Amino acid sequence: MDIDAVVAKWIPIIRGLAVAHSKDEIDRCEFEAEEHLLPLLAAPVRQLREFYSRLCDALREDPSIPFFVSASFDAWHEVILKKAPDEAVKKLKMALASEVADLVEEAIKPDLREALIGALKWRCPEDLENIKKTVKSGATPRLKGRESCLFLVAGDACVML
């Protein structure tokens, strides 16, 4: 993992989340964050610690990042990440998540349509029209799960569920 490149991708996301003025802006930043989590989830703990230390330095040095944000990241670094366990815990969580998904996948299929409607009805009409137009033009829709969120993605269009 190119740690400096990953840090550079996270700075605008963190800035956006800290100073966003709309739900759409927050959703966009969260979607970008989810895309940049993959290298971190695959990284060994040693690299995570190095990444996070450099991220904290970059946040502290960037005058566009509010102090309370960089201070919060520094505090989390001291209290949580420096004491993080090794990769075994990450592998266990992935295996457990896979087992749970296997157990529930068939049972929840009948609920999928109503759950989609329930989530989509709260999204702005422009985002829904964009997804509709993109799918009608031939893009294949996909459901992406990232951390605690689900996204309906088709081509460049994306709606957080």
**Mean pLDDT of the region 27-43:** 83
pTM here is 0.55
Q: Which range has the top average pLDDT, 111-115, 136-140, 151-155? A: 136-140
The rounded distance, in Å, linking the Cα atoms of 142 and 119 is 15
Please, which pLDDT band fits residue 72 given cuts at 50, 70 and 90? very high
Give the mean pLDDT of the chain. 84
The rounded distance, in Å, linking the Cα atoms of 157 and 161 is 13
The rounded distance, in Å, linking the Cα atoms of 100 and 2 is 32
71 vs 155, residue with greater confidence:
71
pLDDT given for residue 61 in this prediction: 96
pLDDT given for residue 99 in this prediction: 79
Q: Are 152 and 131 in contact (CB under 8 A)?
A: yes
pLDDT given for residue 85 in this prediction: 64
Please, which pLDDT band fits residue 89 given cuts at 50, 70 and 90? low
Between strands 141-146 and 157-160, the pairing is: unpaired
